[in-house]
Amino acid sequence: MRTLRRVGCPIAHPLVRTGTNPSTGRVVVGAGLRPRRLTAFGGPAAPGPSRCGRTDDVMDGVVRELLGRQLEAWLSRAVARGRPSVVALAYGPGALLAATDSAEAVLGVLAEHASQLRGRQLTVLVLADGSEELPARLGAMEATLPAETAVHLVPGGPARLPVAVKAAGATGAPLLSYLDGAGATDPAVLAASAAGRPAELLLVTEAVPPPAASTAAGVPPTASSSATPASAGLSSSVRARLADAGFPLTTQVDLVPVDGSPARRLAFGTGHDRSLEAFKENLWAADDDTLVRYRDPADPAGQLLDIAPEPESLRQELLAELARSGPRTVTELRRHALTATAYRSVDVQRALTGLLRCGAAVRDPEHGRLGGDVVIAVARHL
């Protein structure tokens, strides 16, 4: 079995090697290296701090599952376009997922869809620093992916993404990025992740609860629950940064371990409604027995949500939105739930039905199907 060769050395080589394909004249990552083929992922990630990043037992399973589901949904669209596509995985210091484990899982998903990928050019970029285990384990999987699927190991973390995606020809091509750890929210990195056509991004960064949430919960300030103004601003501006980078549709949710471990913010950016809907469906399809709760970053109370759509919290959020913005159509409220809350657009129908039934909201017209053009307003007596 051939050993997976790297684009430079993740530890010793400071630069990404690039060159030109003599047959196409195109700049490529790792010039002169043959495409590497990798086998399916054969088991769960090892727990605890390991390899090129840090694995938190409480949350890493949820995030890895979401990444795998998003990859599957993205593949069906990228393959249908018939254009060269790129998947970029970047892990910085303090990353939630261990680079080796999650990259191996991603390659396992690709192996499961090998029949779809045959004849389609796909480049996988893995940006991480670490030991020799990363290329060794990924190299052991080379046998089952099509020859057109090339895997490149690039030294460094998210900061190297702009160079790597440009060298891989990702600008203007279908691009799915996963950013985790320090440097993930840097404007240049986000701009590079938005350079694809289409582009999708799954991002993990630190999450700081609103002060009201910590106070209400009776949690004294600690290293994990308190934050400097800079870190609080960074965490709360993730959606804005994604929008500034060029993602028309964005959403975010906090993952909060029940054991009191530091929370993480999971953000998603895309340009397509169906992709955002799929992300929300995948978010709520996670195992509800997991020791993680969701938190809406926009909720000043910081209420924790079980991994099962609960209409009461959404009802309160919809009432608050109606109070802020005035009467809104059902379609507008669905879009608000999809982009500005942790909920799905399909959850709005049940929440609105409850608000109308209890008299907290009114509709125009008063009778008939609760269609998208029906206008909802806060009841005047409230």
Q: pLDDT tens digits, the chain, 382 residues: what are they?
A: 334 444 443 322 323 333 334 444 433 333 333 333 333 323 333 333 333 444 456 678 888 888 999 999 999 888 777 889 999 999 999 888 888 888 888 999 999 998 888 889 999 999 998 767 888 888 777 677 888 999 999 999 999 999 999 999 888 899 999 999 999 999 999 999 999 999 999 999 988 765 554 444 443 333 333 333 333 344 457 999 999 999 999 999 999 988 888 899 999 999 998 899 999 988 888 766 678 889 988 888 888 888 776 778 889 889 999 999 999 999 999 999 888 888 888 889 989 999 999 999 999 999 899 999 999 999 986 4
Residue 137's pLDDT is 81
Residue 101's pLDDT is 85
Residue 67's pLDDT is 93
Residue 276's pLDDT is 92
For domain 18-305, is the CATH number 3.90.1070? no
DSSP 95: -
Among 188, 177, 352, residue whose Cα is nearest residue 267: 177
Q: Is 363 left (phi over 0), alpha (psi -120 to 50) or beta?
A: beta
Half-sphere exposure (CA, 13 Å, Cβ side) for 368? 9
Among 376, 374, 364, 366, residue whose Cα is nearest residue 327: 376
Contact residues for 150 (Cβ-Cβ < 8 A; gap 6+): 35, 36, 121, 122, 123, 124
Class of domain 311-378: mainly alpha
Residue 189's pLDDT is 97
Residue 356's pLDDT is 92
**Per-domain residue ranges of the chain:** 18-305, 311-378
Residue 58's pLDDT is 62
Do the bridges between strand 122-127 and strand 149-154 make them parallel or antiparallel, or are there none, so unpaired? parallel
Helices (H), the chain: 57-81, 99-112, 114-117, 133-139, 161-167, 187-193, 211-216, 229-236, 238-245, 273-284, 311-325, 330-340, 347-358
Residue 56's pLDDT is 52
Q: Is 359 left (phi over 0), alpha (psi -120 to 50) or beta?
A: left
Do the bridges between strand 27-29 and strand 85-91 make them parallel or antiparallel, or are there none, so unpaired? unpaired
Do the bridges between strand 199-206 and strand 361-364 make them parallel or antiparallel, or are there none, so unpaired? unpaired
Half-sphere exposure (CA, 13 Å, Cβ side) for 204? 29
CA 7 centroid distance within chain: 25
Among 299, 309, 72, residue whose Cα is nearest residue 207: 299
